[in-house]
Amino acid sequence: MAYHSEKLINELNEKARQLRLDALKMIHERGQGHPGGSLSAAEIITALFFHHMRIEPSRSDWLERDRFILSKGHACAILYPALARRGYFPLEELSRWGHLGSFLQGHPDRLKTPGVEMTAGFLGHGLPIGAGLCLAARLKGLKYHTYILLGDGECQCGVLWEGAMTAAKYKLSNLTVIVDYNNVQLDGPVHEIMPLEPLVEKWKSFNFATLEIDGHNIGQVLDSLDMAKEIHSQPTVIIAHTTKGKGVSFMENKAEWHGLAPNDAQYAQAIAELKGKRRDD
Amino acid sequence: MTEKVSVRKAYGQTLAEHGAINPDVVVIVADVSSSVMTNYFAEKFPERFFNVGIQEAGMVDTAVGFALAGMVPFVNTFAGLFLRAVEQIRTCVAYARTNVKLVGSYAGLSDFKDGPTHHSIIDIAIMRSMPDMAVIVPADAIEVEKMVPAVAEYDGPVYLRISRTDMPVVFDEKHEVEIGKGVVVRDGSDVTLISNGIMVSRCVKAVELLADERIDAGVVNMHTLKPLDVSIIKQAAETGAIVTAEEHSIIGGLGSAVAEVLGAQCPVPLERVGIADTFTETALDPDSLLDHYGMAVEDIVKAARRATKRKRKNR
């Protein structure tokens, strides 16, 4: 497992903060979007796109590139700025998100947006699709690793567990699944709507290796991604404990911020809070 | 008696043969391999064969993953069971335009013995309504043999409908197919019978009976419902009357597709032979089931009579 320097971790924390600002700006400008689940995934997306994954934005058809699927596609407000800042397309395009004719759709579209590996929107697809990508890698002798980011509410979808069985049957060690476990879904707390616990045991019983981390601790995210690649006999799931709406006090842990855009005053407060958290201020 | 040949066996054997030609072809099945006869492929290419158990929705998504990696997945289950995966098919196959080949076997009433749960009478209506989805219904075993390689090499999502039954042979080895191009089986001057699947052979029989009544009927095999061969429908409309015949509900299938073209471009009397808007029943054999639900040769003859009569009235 690689050592991650404090400098790297500080840089990535700053990047995550920047992505949160981008996401809120996009959602505010558009008056639409999903802040809660975008903010909770900021460190996970940052760790993958700005350090861990083997990707080359200038060669998006590189056969050996690592694959990432945002199965919780509603969190695209955190993915799009990551793609832009990673060099897949100009940053200015973010302000055209959701406009007619923009290549940034309401949910990710693989045919329109550079860097988006797979279309998403309705939940549950990412894992079974990832299983296919991993089986194909094995057949073709390609060394890419596949990463699937799930929401916690998404773990209520039956088709996801169909994919989990396939991944386990074929011992797809080139698959890493990450659950953004922020405890809140559209209609309310996950444990009230449809409880998932014991979630780690569920994945274990589906023959996944399991890792549990604080999904806002960049160091833990990086370590767990490295550890998952060291497991060679089975697929891995990283249960990332997170906070819905992380970084904006009035959005944190609130179901109403699942799919709501802040008004001008709320936006100003949110930005102030996020900027106040800048480490070098 | 016309020779009958198993189309599912033709499918399975051709798929196995094509596996040798195209190393990117992979086969995925949901616990019905010996039924839909992908076992021929499994024996020949075990490393490219994946039985994922009874999980039709997950199976379609997993096929999407193969397609994203540049492979050509053939996804297999009963036609009726693909209904479980309609959202996967819409979102991840059609909308995402992944190169997935969906093969719906035991289609129409061909699984006569298992009853209406297993009869697939609305699959075409659903698949045809999806943008970018090619929909293909072969007429006999020869056409299946010709179609499998064409489907594999076609760039984009395809729904291929395969019957469980042994179907009467319509074509010989010289038969050529092109996805999106209808086939004139026989020219006629009074009425044109447009059909696909097993109903093509029944239309050919109807032509003989109609000849006795001095009705000269043509037959078009519309093996591809989408992309639809509009020009062959317009050509058929020049006979002044059309009958469609399909092993499917008359809502949303071939009859509807033809009606859409006729209504907009060349209105002529149209009679639709197919399953009325109803669920079917179990039977002891497929032919009597087709006959019972309005797809007998005599039903085609009656429809042709009605269509030609309406044509004369209009003049």
Domain, as residue range, for A214 = 6-276
CB atoms near residue B169 (< 10 Å): 16
| Residue B173: inside a domain | no
Query: How is residue B57 annotated by DSSP?
Result: H
Q: Are residues B135 and B222 in the same domain?
A: no
Q: Are residues B145 and B201 in the same domain?
A: no
CATH number at residue B77: 3.40.50.970
| Residue A1: inside a domain | no
pLDDT band at A271 (very low <50, low <70, confident <90, very high): very high
CA trace torsion B222, B226, B230, B231 (10° rounding)? -60
CB atoms near residue A21 (< 10 Å): 17
A140 lies within 8 A of chain B by CB? yes
Nearest to B279 by CA among B114, B82, B125, B116: B116
**Domain end position, chosen among B168, B201, B223:** B168
Q: State yes or no: pLDDT of B136 exceeds 50.
A: yes
Question: What mean pLDDT do residues A7-27 have?
Answer: 98
pLDDT at B314: 74
Which residues have CB under 8 Å from A138's CB, separation 6+? A170, A172, A174
Please state the length of chain A.
281
Q: CA of A118 to nearest chain B CA: how many angstroms apart? A: 7
pLDDT band at A201 (very low <50, low <70, confident <90, very high): very high
Note whether A165 contacts B67, CB cutoff 8 Å. Answer: no
Note whether A121 contacts B69, CB cutoff 8 Å. Answer: no
A121 lies within 8 A of chain B by CB? yes
Q: Are residues B160 and B191 in the same domain?
A: no
Query: How is residue B30 annotated by DSSP?
Result: S
Q: Are residues B159 and B189 in the same domain?
A: no
Q: State yes or no: pLDDT of B91 exceeds 70.
A: yes
Q: Please give the helix or strand (H or E) that residue B196 lies within, else none.
A: none
Angle (CA) B243 B249 B254, round 5°: 45
Q: CA of B219 to nearest chain A CA: how many angstroms apart? A: 40
Q: Which residue of B has its CA nearest to A137?
A: B69
Per-residue pLDDT tens digits for A132-177: 999 999 999 999 999 999 999 999 999 999 999 999 999 999 999 9
Calculate what percentage of chain A has a pLDDT beyond 70. Answer: 98
Nearest to B239 by CA among B208, B207, B209: B207
Q: Are residues B302 and B250 in the same domain?
A: yes
Q: Are residues B299 and B194 in the same domain?
A: yes
Axis crossing angle, helix B199-212 with helix B297-314, rounded to the nearest 10: 60
Nearest to A149 by CA among A42, A275, A2: A42
Calculate what percentage of chain A has a pLDDT beyond 90. Answer: 96
CB atoms near residue A111 (< 10 Å): 12
Partners of A239 in beta bridges: A179, A212
Note whether B69 contacts A125, CB cutoff 8 Å. Answer: no
Contacts of B100 in chain A (CB under 8 A): none
Q: Which residue of A has its CA nearest to B55?
A: A162
Peptide bond into B116 cis (omega under 30): no
pTM: 0.97
pLDDT at A2: 75
Mutate to test the interface with A, among B52, B81, B97 (most CBs of A within 10 A): B52
Q: Which residue of A has its CA nearest to B95?
A: A119
Nearest to A162 among B58, B66, B87 (CB): B58
- Measure Cα distances from B221 to B2, B167, B186, B216 in Å: 18, 15, 9, 17
Q: How many structural domains are present in chain A?
A: 1
CATH number at residue B259: 3.40.50.920
Number of helices (H) and strands (E) in chain B: give both, helices first.
12, 14
| Residue B260: inside a domain | yes
Nearest to A30 by CA among A253, A269, A267: A267
B66 lies within 8 A of chain A by CB? yes
DSSP A180-221: EE-SEETTEEHHHHS---SHHHHHHHTT-EEEEEETT-HHHH
Question: What mean pLDDT do residues B90-103 have?
Answer: 98
pLDDT band at A255 (very low <50, low <70, confident <90, very high): very high
Q: State yes or no: pLDDT of B33 exceeds 50.
A: yes
Contacts of B88 in chain A (CB under 8 A): 125, 159
Q: Are residues B157 and B18 in the same domain?
A: yes
If you average pLDDT over every residue of chain A, what do you get? 97
Q: Are residues B10 and B73 in the same domain?
A: yes
A163 lies within 8 A of chain B by CB? yes
Note whether A132 contacts B61, CB cutoff 8 Å. Answer: yes
Note whether A128 contacts B50, CB cutoff 8 Å. Answer: no
Rg (CA), chain B: 19
Residue B109 burial (10 A CB sphere; 0-12, 13-18, 19+): buried
The residues in B 130-169 lying below 8 A from A, measured between CB atoms, are: none
Note whether B55 contacts A166, CB cutoff 8 Å. Answer: yes
The residues in B 18-37 lying below 8 A from A, measured between CB atoms, are: 26
Question: What mean pLDDT do residues B210-238 have?
Answer: 98
Antiparallel, parallel or unpaired: β B49-51 and B25-29: parallel
**Please, are residues B104 and B162 in contact by the beta-carbon 8 Å criterion?**
yes
Q: State yes or no: pLDDT of B210 exceeds 60.
A: yes
Q: State yes or no: pLDDT of A281 exceeds 70.
A: no
Question: What mean pLDDT do residues A241-264 have?
Answer: 97
B57 lies within 8 A of chain A by CB? yes
Q: Are residues B163 and B18 in the same domain?
A: yes
B87 lies within 8 A of chain A by CB? yes
Name residue, tokens 């060394």: A143
Domain, as residue range, for B217 = 183-314
| Residue B176: inside a domain | no
Note whether A165 contacts B88, CB cutoff 8 Å. Answer: no
More confident: A3 or A50 = A50
A131 lies within 8 A of chain B by CB? yes
Q: Are residues B134 and B202 in the same domain?
A: no
If you average pLDDT over every residue of chain B, what do you get? 97
CB atoms near residue A95 (< 10 Å): 13
Determine phi and psi for B224, rounding to 5 degrees. -105, 120
B50 lies within 8 A of chain A by CB? yes
pLDDT at A280: 47
| Residue B177: inside a domain | no
pLDDT at B222: 98
Contacts of B48 in chain A (CB under 8 A): 139
| Residue B174: inside a domain | no
| Residue A281: inside a domain | no
Per-residue pLDDT tens digits for B262-280: 999 999 999 999 999 999 9
Q: Distance from first CA to last CA of chain B, Å, rounded?
A: 39
Nearest to B65 among A109, A110, A130 (CB): A130
Q: Are residues B119 and B243 in the same domain?
A: no
pLDDT at A1: 65
Partners of B6 in beta bridges: B166
**Please, are residues A245 and A35 in contact by the beta-carbon 8 Å criterion?**
yes
pLDDT at B172: 96
Q: In the structure encoding, which two tokens stand for residue A211, read together?
A: 């890792």
CB atoms near residue A44 (< 10 Å): 28
Note whether A139 contacts B47, CB cutoff 8 Å. Answer: yes
CA trace torsion B23, B25, B28, B32 (10° rounding)? -100
Antiparallel, parallel or unpaired: β B224-226 and B134-136: antiparallel
Which residues have CB under 8 Å from A272's CB, separation 6+? none
Contacts of B61 in chain A (CB under 8 A): 125, 128-129, 131-132, 159, 162-163
pLDDT at B313: 81
Mutate to test the interface with B, among A66, A159, A160 (most CBs of B within 10 A): A159
B88 lies within 8 A of chain A by CB? yes
Calculate what percentage of chain B has a pLDDT beyond 70. Answer: 99
Q: What sign does the dihedral B181-B90-A177-A222 (CA atoms) show? A: positive
Determine phi and psi for B166, rounding to 5 degrees. -80, 120
Reading phi first (left if > 0) and then psi (alpha if -120 to 50, else beta), residue B38 is in alpha
Q: Are residues B109 and B8 in the same domain?
A: yes
- Measure Cα distances from A275 to A16, A18, A269, B295, B314 in Å: 12, 9, 10, 72, 78
Question: What mean pLDDT do residues A21-27 have?
Answer: 98
pLDDT at A277: 65
Rg (CA), chain A: 18
- SS3 (DSSP) at A278: coil
How many Å apart are CA A37 and CA B199, to the nearest integer? 53
A174 lies within 8 A of chain B by CB? no
pLDDT band at A3 (very low <50, low <70, confident <90, very high): confident
Note whether A118 contacts B26, CB cutoff 8 Å. Answer: no
Contacts of A119 in chain B (CB under 8 A): 91-92, 95-96
Q: State yes or no: pLDDT of A122 exceeds 50.
A: yes
Q: CA of B187 to nearest chain A CA: how many angstroms apart? A: 43
Reading phi first (left if > 0) and then psi (alpha if -120 to 50, else beta), residue A136 is in alpha
CATH number at residue A19: 3.40.50.970
ipTM of the complex: 0.96
Per-residue pLDDT tens digits for A28-70: 999 999 999 999 999 999 999 999 999 999 999 999 999 999 9
Q: How many structural domains are present in chain B?
A: 2
Contacts of B67 in chain A (CB under 8 A): 132
Contacts of B50 in chain A (CB under 8 A): 135, 166, 170
pLDDT at A278: 55
